[in-house]
Amino acid sequence: MPDTLDLRALIAAMLRAGATYAQVCAELGASLNLIATVRREHSIPVAEGRPFSLGKHAGPRGMADGFAAGTTDAGNGHVRCSNASRFVYYDNTHDTARRVAFRLAHGREPVGLVTASCGEPWCVAPGHAEDRPMRGQLRLRIAAMLRAGATYAQVRAELGAGSSTVASVRREYSIPVVAGRAFAPRTMAEAYARHAEDTGDGHVRWTGPWNQVPTPVVNFGRGQDTVRRVAFRLAYGREPVGPVTSGCGEPWCVAPGHGEDRPMREQLRAQLEAIGGPRA
C-alpha cells in the first residue's frame, strides 16, 4: 500500500497548492474520481473563486476532434489513449475515451460500463467499444459457438472477442472443453486471459494458480512468471524493472493498466518531494 499512499499524498499536496483537477490529472495520471476522493478525505476546499471546471483545458472542439487529439493508432486495429487519465476533452467538457469512442461508433449513449471487446484492456478503438446490452448479446453468441465445439481461435476470428471474454463465458455457462482437445494457450497473453476475471469495475481478479510464496502465477509452455509481471508487459510493452505492485489501491487486482514498477514509483516519489509533500 505505500505506493498508493504516495500517489494520494501527492494529489493532496498539489490540491493544497492550488492545482486544478485537470493539472493533477495531467501531472500524475490520476483519475478524476480519485482526485475528488482525496479532496474529500483531506477536506481540501476548491480554490476561492474557481469552481471545478475543465473548460479552459478542453482544447479541441467537437467530440471527434477531441478523440483524435487524445488518442493514437496502436496498429492492428487498436487505439491507445495518449494521456494517463484515459479522458478525452472537447467542447468545454470531458468523458472517458471509451465512452466517447462508443458514441462515435454507434451514435448513441452507452448503457452501463463500456469495455473493449478485442481483449486488450488499454484499447479505446471505437469499433471495439461495447456496452452492457452488446456484451449480453456477444456472450450468448460466444456460448453458442463454444457449445457447438468451436475453438477459442475460431470464436475470436468470427466474433472479434478477446480470449479473456471467451474464457469467462465458458466458465459462466459451465461449457466443458471438447473431449480430447485441451485448451493450450498459444501466447502468454492467452495464458493470462484464461484465469483473469474482469470484475466489471476496471479491476481484474486472478482465478488461476499460485506459487508457494504465495503469489499468483501464469504457466505457459514450460515456463512460469508472476501474473503482475505478465500483465505489466501486456499494458506497457516492456519489461518491468523491479517488483510490480498494484497502483489502483486494490491489493488483489492484476489488471494490466494498474501495475507499477520501480521507475514508476520512484517518479511519483520524486514529484512528491519536488512540491514539498510528505515522504513515504
Mark 116-137 as b/e (b = at least 16 C-beta within 10 Å): bbbbbbbbbbbbbbbbeebbee
Label residue 190 exposed, middle or buried (CB < 10 Å: 0-12, 13-18, 19+): buried
Summarised one tens digit per residue, pLDDT across range 137-147 is 888 999 999 98
- Rounded distance between C-alpha atoms, residue 122 and residue 197, angstroms: 16
Has residue 47 got a pLDDT over 50? yes
**What residue ranges do the domains of the chain occupy?**
187-274
| pLDDT exceeds 60 at position 23 | yes
Beta-bridge partner residues of 95? 88
Q: Over 50: is that where the pLDDT of 65 sits? A: yes
| Beta-strand relationship, 78-81 and 87-90 | unpaired
Phi and psi angles of residue 80, each rounded to the nearest 5 degrees, phi first: -110, 140
Look at 98-102, 185-189, 200-204, 232-236 and tell me which has the smallest mean pLDDT: 185-189
**Integer Cα distance of 136 and 241 in angstroms:** 39
Q: Taking the mean position of all CA atoms in its chain, how far away is CA 125?
A: 14
pTM exceeding the 0.75 threshold for the entire prediction? no
